[in-house]
């Protein structure tokens, strides 16, 4: 049976990335009153398209990067650099509180984000510092042609020219403390939000008992303090992914078109999750 809060969410008007202020305020209220996984699910249940669900789920996941981030504020994590094959080759650097370099992907960097969380080199260490979006020394570069998935959430390259970092946030060992764990948090929050959207779009949402059950299983084991997947959470994620694909195959035509385009977001992490599974299974024996 679907929880009462989910049923209530389905009865409310849809939220959309095209009306970001309304989406922001509703998500802020959820972040203040709900556990993270529930916030992601309910945001998905109220989303009009997958991009709206993804943005909400991503913002929930960003609270694993910085738990003090205000519920009303949006942020993105900036790691990628063009041609980067290993984090040891990262060229973006921080020196005396200013950051210089270039990042190749930052969601809604030209509008919508309040903070940019940047993983960069500080001498021989990788650290994470944050910079205000629009800070002097931060340039949003012209975007490439729209990305094939969630094009409503434009990703831009960023150039930093001695932009001052915020003194209130600093994380050392950023690869192990933020970069690796964030993959897990983003995975879980995104698939829960997508699943909520899929329920909203389904012609028979009240009949999707198996989807509801596997959503609850993944959400029930989620902890924002986690540093990554355990085998139980990985199994729960894959069970939800399988059921989500089954339910989505029967979506009405308009929703199915969105799903076929944007479901690749879930596929992108399959290789990494396969490697994680091998490691977890080896350590279990």
Q: What DSSP string runs through 119-135?
A: EEEETTEEEEEEEETT-
- Mean pLDDT per 10-residue segment, the chain (285 residues): 93 96 97 97 98 97 97 96 80 93 90 94 92 94 80 92 95 94 97 97 86 97 96 97 94 95 89 92 83
* Cα angle 74, 151, 266; round to 5: 80
Residues 6+ positions from 26 with CB-CB distance below 8 Å: 15, 43, 46
Pairing of strands 125-132, 170-171: antiparallel
Looking at residue 84, what is its pLDDT? 77
Alpha-carbon distance values, 165 to 79, 191, 247 (Å): 16, 32, 45
d(CA 84, CA 103): 10
Fold of domain 75-173: Butyryl-CoA Dehydrogenase, subunit A; domain 2 (2.40.110)
User: Is there a contact between 222 and 36 (Cβ–Cβ < 8 Å)?
Assistant: yes
pLDDT of residue 263: 92
Phi-psi region of 239 (alpha: psi -120 to 50; beta: other; left: phi over 0): alpha
Query: In the chain, where does the domain assigned CATH 2.40.110.10 lie?
Result: 75-173
β pairing state of 75-78 and 115-122: parallel
Q: What is the pLDDT of residue 81?
A: 87
Residue with tokens 């993105």: 76
Q: How many CB atoms lie within 10 A of CB 188?
A: 28
Helix, strand and coil in the chain, % to nearest 5: 50, 20, 35
**What per-residue confidence (pLDDT) applies to 190?**
96
How many Å apart are CA 241 and CA 192, to the nearest integer?
A: 10
- Rounded Cα–Cα distance for residues 149 and 12 (Å): 26
Q: Which residues contact 7 (CB under 8 A, 6 or more apart)?
A: none
For residue 137, count CB atoms less than 10 angstroms from its CB and return exposed for 0-12, middle for 13-18, buried for 19 or more.
Answer: middle
Which of these, 263, 209, 229, 212, lies nearest to 45 by C-alpha position?
212
């Amino acid at each position: 049976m679907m929880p009462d809060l989910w049923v209530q969410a389905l009865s409310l008007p849809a939220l959309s990335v095209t009306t970001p202020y309304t989406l922001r305020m509703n998500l802020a209220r959820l972040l203040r009153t709900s556990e993270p996984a529930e916030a992601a699910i309910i945001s998905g249940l109220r989303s009009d398209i997958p991009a709206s669900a993804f943005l909400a789920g991503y913002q929930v996941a960003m609270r694993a990067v910085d738990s003090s981030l205000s519920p009303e504020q949006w942020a993105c994590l900036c790691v990628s650099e063009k041609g980067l094959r290993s984090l040891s080759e990262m060229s973006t650097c921080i020196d005396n509180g200013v950051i210089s370099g270039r990042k190749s992907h930052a969601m809604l960097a030209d509008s919508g984000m309040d903070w940019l969380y940047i993983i960069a080199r500080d001498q021989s260490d990788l650290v994470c510092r944050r910079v205000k979006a629009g800070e002097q020394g931060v340039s949003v570069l012209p975007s490439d042609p729209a990305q094939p998935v969630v094009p409503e959430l434009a990703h831009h390259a960023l150039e930093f020219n001695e932009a001052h970092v915020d003194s209130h946030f600093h994380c050392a060992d950023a690869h192990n403390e933020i970069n690796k764990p964030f993959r897990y948090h983003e995975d879980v929050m995104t698939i829960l939000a997508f699943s909520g959207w899929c329920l909203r779009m389904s012609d028979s949402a009240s009949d999707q008992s198996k989807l509801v059950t596997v959503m609850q299983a993944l959400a029930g084991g989620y902890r924002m303090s986690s540093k990554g997947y355990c085998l139980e959470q990985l199994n729960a994620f894959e069970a939800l992914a399988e059921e989500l694909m089954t339910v989505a195959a029967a979506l009405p035509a308009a929703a199915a078109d969105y799903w076929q385009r944007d479901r690749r977001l879930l596929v992108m992490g399959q290789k990494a999750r396969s490697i994680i599974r091998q490691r977890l299974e080896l350590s279990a024996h």
